[in-house]
Chain A
Amino acid sequence: MTELPLIGEAVAVAAEPRLAGARIGVVTFPGTLDDRDAARAVRLAGGTPVPLWHADNALGDVDAVVIPGGFSYGDYLRAGAIARFAPLMSKIIDAANSDARLPVLGICNGFQILTESHLLPGSMIKNDHLKFMCRDQVLRVENNSTDWTLDYEAGQEITVPLKNQDGQYIADEKTLDALEAEGRVVFRYVGFNPNGSRRDIAGISNAAGNVVGLMPHPEHAVEVGYGPESLDGIGGSDTDGLAFFTSVLNKIVGANK
């Protein structure tokens, strides 16, 4: 997590120097895949990524945490079920629920870990079509007041990669109604529901808006030339995911617009 490799226009983002003081922890479990991409996204957005190890007993000096995607513990038992009991997770759960309300973002397997941790309601089961799916996916930002979506416009449509097998979001009707009523459906699939998720839900937040989880991968859409292609007619740009990271960085340094 040191220097950025020389690919793409890594300096294309006009990252503001004052954001570099914000430290974003990125957790690695056995089987995590996307920790390097998440750390790179933090850096491209102007922040300082801090590697965190699942077996650590202390969170250290971080201002927010990203739980990245992958297959922690090989998805054994249930996706995220074993990772949820890692020593570092109990620290993250406490910090997210504390008065300080540590911002936490769970992406894909990270979202599954957050539901297993009961930081977010509901659960993920196998995609309704039973296949692993990888595609560029259009999402609508339904709530731009969470810590991780402040830099988006309400109702903005973004395109980011989606890649999962256990991506079907489910919860009972009462929970779904409550999520809708409280504005906690943060992202919805647009045009195509890739996994049978209830009410096209792609991502949700906790009541305070500091904990957000989603199945698609914003950290893979942060660099010109390396994000979703905008040539296949579904629109979007290569860097639609970057605002996740600028949102939380700006919030930490107290500069959201």
Chain B
Amino acid sequence: MPRIVVDVMPKPEILDPQGKAIVGALPRLGFTSFSSVRQGKRFELTVDGEVTDAILAQAREAAETLLSNPVIEDVVNVEVVEA
């Protein structure tokens, strides 16, 4: 069954405290090549049947209203992934 993948990231201007903690931990494991980490969220919405334009539009609306908070986050990607 197809899925609609929604990716949400903290806005660039907002310091991401979780990403900051992760970038601090990486060098302790010997991963020294990464100067910054930002942590986002990936949602997978499963659709029973075909993904129509209307269903994709619903997913975009859900992404903007519930899955993300536009004050602190951006929806950076909405795409259909066939199973």
B17 proximity list for chain A (CB < 8 A)? 125-128, 130, 168, 196
A126 proximity list for chain B (CB < 8 A)? 17-18
**Chain A, 180-200, CB within 8 A of any chain B CB:** 196
Interface status of A77 (Cβ within 8 A of chain B): yes
Interface size on A, residues (CB 8 A): 20
Contact of A115 among B21, B67, B71 (CB under 8 A): B71
B13 proximity list for chain A (CB < 8 A)? 172
**Chain B, 16-38, CB within 8 A of any chain A CB:** 17-18, 21
B67 proximity list for chain A (CB < 8 A)? 77
A196 proximity list for chain B (CB < 8 A)? 17
Give the nearest-CB partner of B15 in chain A: A128
Interface status of A85 (Cβ within 8 A of chain B): yes
B18 proximity list for chain A (CB < 8 A)? 126, 130
Interface size on B, residues (CB 8 A): 12
A85 proximity list for chain B (CB < 8 A)? 66
Given known pairs A130-B17, A170-B14, the reply for A122 and B71 (CB within 8 Å) is yes
| Interface of A toward B, CB cutoff 8 Å | 77-78, 81-82, 85, 115-116, 121-123, 125-128, 130, 168, 170-172, 196
Top 4 A-B pairs ranked by shortest CB distance? A123-B71, A126-B17, A123-B72, A130-B21
| Interface of B toward A, CB cutoff 8 Å | 10, 13-15, 17-18, 21, 66-67, 69, 71-72
Known A81-B66, A127-B17; further 6 A-B contacts with Cβ < 8 A: A121-B71, A123-B71, A125-B10, A168-B17, A170-B71, A171-B71
A-B contact pairs, 12 of them (CB 8 A): A77-B66, A81-B69, A115-B71, A123-B69, A125-B17, A125-B72, A128-B17, A130-B17, A170-B14, A170-B72, A172-B13, A196-B17
